[in-house]
Amino acid sequence: MSVEQTPGPRKNEPRAHGAQSSRRLLARVRAIMADPTGAQESLDRIVGIIAAEMVAEVCSLYVRRAGDMLELFATQGLKSEAVHNTHLRVGEGLVGDIAAHARPLALSDAQSHANFAYRPETGEEIYHSLMGVPAIRGGRVIGVLVVQNRTQRHYEEEEIETMETVAMVLAEMVAGGELVDRSELAPIDGLGIKPLRLEGLRLNGGIGMGTAVIHQPAYRVEHVVADDIAAEHEKLETAYSEMHGALEDMMAAGAFAEGGEHRDIMEAYRMIASDAGWLERLHEAIDSGLTAEAAVERVQNDLRARMSQVSDPYLRERMHDIEDLGNRLMSHLHGDGANGNGKVLPDHVVLIARNLGPAQLFDYDPERIRALVLEEGSPTSHAAIVARALDIPVVAQVKGVLERIEDGDPVIVDGDSARVFVRPGEDVQQSFKDALKARTAQARAYDAIKDLPADSLDGVHIELSVNAGLLVDLRRMHETGAKGVGLFRTEVPFMIRPEFPEVKEQEKIYREALDEAAGKPIVFRTLDVGGDKVLPYWTKEDEENPAMGWRSIRISLDRPAMLRQQLRALVRAAAGRELWVMFPMIADVSEFTAARALLDKELARHEKMGGEPPSHVLAGSMLEVPALAFQLPALLRHSDFLSVGSNDLMQFLFASDRGNSRLAGRYDTLSPPVLSFLTGVVEACNAAGKPLSLCGEMAGYPVDAMTLIGIGFRNLSLVPSSIGPVKSMVRSLNVGDLKQYLDTVVNLDDRSLREKLRGFAQDHGVVI
């Protein structure tokens, strides 16, 4: 909390006085709410009783309206004609400052403060001291509650806390439409409701148009004011011990029982949950008159306010953990784990959130979501992974987006250029409508060829598979007419879960995937974590070079129990069916044979226990580490197939970090060294008679895919949304002509052949 007066000495005893006062106040607020009068009258009475309880001459409530405008909605003490006529922008004046920083302000001499903004219509010049608190709901400031006194008064910490509690209750009521008619929260004509253009970071391309829906925390606090304080304390204790029990069970189960880093992080998590300070804060909040669920919300609000001031990434992570625990506790309070997100959604939703947890996107009907805009979020965030799988455009790291977009605002999200257009003008809307139409027409054209084979004009057949990680990808595999899944990133289900899935749960995931694939092959890649792929429940090692560090198969071979559990789950799930397993980041043959030996052990164990074996087992290796390319004849004696992971391979071939934006575009996949390297790989696989595919991002770009086909690739695995464009390319290509052309350019000293290959495509009518 940040207050600009010298705080009084901190008391060790419970804040009995503050708690009593806020309880009394809340009881009176509730009595007013129980009396059915109009919203304005209730508000007027509420500010009146707050003024009386706080012994202040003035109490005013400002409510935030669209366009970052705070409007005086009710006052006791200021001139009544100022109500609905006094406006302050967020950041303007002391009230605006409180809203902008989401923190209380207590000043014994307000008028001497640099931010004081005088509004003559209010008649406030006679009041010297001011104390204001933000009214926060779900981490968002939706208003400001202020008291003022004539004298130069010093406000006690307990008084500020009482105001915060009441403000939170008012925030719930305003948001629930009980105190303020929702129409009054609409934009104010002519007052700064201008179109806005915000920029962020592209996490997924595409265009989405719709109505803004602000993601609220999953739980709506139904009852804010406690009827029976003792009962609320008891409810909290019960939920708290249930939550502990669930955490204990989780720790005792599966992978956690074996120790290791993920256990350490869970221990840390559990320690926070056991932190007496956290529990004490919760009980204190109940003492102030709140229900147990409102107390959790209240403590979460404080935490978020503190979090915004912490820059240390480790501490922020821990605070996120507490926030997450708060959500867990809330779910235990609700008793069923069901979310209370019962909003009526518009048909086309642009979802606006600070960040989304693993499953929160699924709280909404994915069919309605047109785009996602995040205030935070990173390329590896859960929301990004899920949104990509659902093909929803995502722009992240849009500073202040929650402050600047209101529920109901029309929004256009251009994922390709990472821009968000809020309340766009007619012309902007029209140009995006046109772009969307063109895309829809394109999608229809792709749909029309989905059941046709990916055969070139001269009869070369190309197998196109999809890269997947979630069940929704499998649906898209069917929709696009792909042959199967060429890369199933098994770490994705691990990343979106709050805890390490045990064998049974893994088995279920893989079985569902195989069922969904309905006989089409799925190449399951074993856990590929470390580097940029972080499991939420796993400590991230501080490594000098994480991409070249302890990651992927290296972790799996050092933690064989974990790999064996995964292989066990795969073998069980594939009973009676074909099982394809692929090991990532293999650097030498011995790593592959060691991994394969574990697979064989699991197969033997499964049969010994009387389980039905898979009908056929194929184990393959990824080629991501250049050294492996020089051992291919030896590797292919053991490996049933090979798949090039070009994302990692490129970063190691060029010694160029794939995540460093300064290096993006510096080296080209379509360059003589890459093409001659890959040609060698094609030749080695052909000589050994083993299938070869490529599953990195480049397979999804038509010019790159065309070139790969030209040097001999016949299997490509790509993101589902690229199947249509790549198939169109294949069906307009003459592979023989391309081969001839490539022979003439592959030995040139150009640093990139991209423009030349584009030129070839244009000259030969290849659709790229």
CB of 489 to ligand PEP, least distance (A): 5
Examine residue 704 and tell whether it contacts ligand PEP (CB under 6 A): no
Q: What's the rounded Cα separation, in Å, for the pair 168 and 157?
A: 17
Pairing mode of beta strands 522-525, 578-583: parallel
Q: Is 685 a catalytic residue?
A: no
CB of 650 to ligand PEP, least distance (A): 8
Query: What is the per-residue binding string for ligand PEP in 501-540, x denoting contact by CB under 6 A?
Result: ---------------------------x------------
Toward Mg ion, which CB reaches closer, 614 or 645?
A: 645
Q: What's the rounded Cα separation, in Å, for the pair 383 and 392?
A: 10
Among 50, 169, 684, 695, binds ligand PEP (CB under 6 A): 695
DSSP 681-723: HHHHHHHHT--EEE-SGGGGSHHHHHHHHHTT--EEEE-HHHH
CB of 482 to ligand PEP, least distance (A): 16
Toward Mg ion, which CB reaches closer, 321 or 588?
A: 588
Q: What's the rounded Cα separation, in Å, for the pair 704 and 698?
A: 6
Examine residue 646 and tell whether it contacts ligand PEP (CB under 6 A): yes
Total chain residues near ligand PEP (CB under 6 A): 10
Q: What's the rounded Cα separation, in Å, for the pair 534 and 530?
A: 6
Name the segment binding ligand PEP (CB under 6 A); options: 4-12, 252-260, 567-575, 643-651: 643-651
**DSSP single-letter state for residue 345:** P
Q: What's the rounded Cα separation, in Å, for the pair 174 and 176?
A: 5
Name the segment binding ligand PEP (CB under 6 A); options: 35-43, 427-435, 540-548, 646-654: 646-654
Toward ligand PEP, which CB reaches closer, 243 or 586?
A: 586
Selection from 759, 745, 743, 709 nearest residue 729 by Cα: 709
Query: What is the per-residue binding string for ligand PEP in 726-765, x denoting contact by CB under 6 A?
Result: ----------------------------------------
Q: What's the rounded Cα separation, in Å, for the pair 585 and 552?
A: 6
Q: What's the rounded Cα separation, in Å, for the pair 428 and 424?
A: 6
Length of the chain as a residue count = 768
Examine residue 645 and tell whether it contacts ligand PEP (CB under 6 A): yes
> Contact 389/513 with Cβ under 8 angstroms?
no
Toward ligand PEP, which CB reaches closer, 462 or 529?
A: 529
489 contacts which partner out of Mg ion, ligand PEP, none, CB within 5 to 8 A by kind? ligand PEP
Phi-psi region of 391 (alpha: psi -120 to 50; beta: other; left: phi over 0): left
Toward Mg ion, which CB reaches closer, 210 or 530?
A: 530
Name the segment binding ligand PEP (CB under 6 A); options: 197-205, 206-214, 557-565, 640-648: 640-648
> Contact 682/623 with Cβ under 8 angstroms?
no
| Token duo for residue 306 | 């503190």
Q: Please pick, among 87, 215, 262, 382, the residue that the annotation labels catalytic.
A: 382
Name the segment binding ligand PEP (CB under 6 A); options: 334-342, 440-448, 639-647, 751-759: 639-647
Beta bridge partners of 147: 59, 131
Among 124, 161, 624, 704, binds ligand PEP (CB under 6 A): 624
Query: What is the per-residue binding string for Mg ion in 628-647, x denoting contact by CB under 5 A?
Result: -----------------x--
Among 489, 551, 572, 727, binds ligand PEP (CB under 6 A): 489
Q: Reading across the β-sheet that carries 369-374, which strands appear in turn?
A: 196-199, 419-422, 410-414, 207-214, 349-353, 369-374, 394-396, 201-204
| CA distances from residue 692 to 86, 244, 259, 687 in whole angstroms, order as listed | 70, 49, 38, 11
Q: What's the rounded Cα separation, in Å, for the pair 538 and 320?
A: 14
Q: Is 59 a catalytic residue?
A: no
* Catalytically annotated residues: 382, 695
By CB under 6 A, name the binding residues for ligand PEP: 487, 489, 528, 624, 645-648, 695-696
By CB under 5 A, name the binding residues for Mg ion: 645, 648
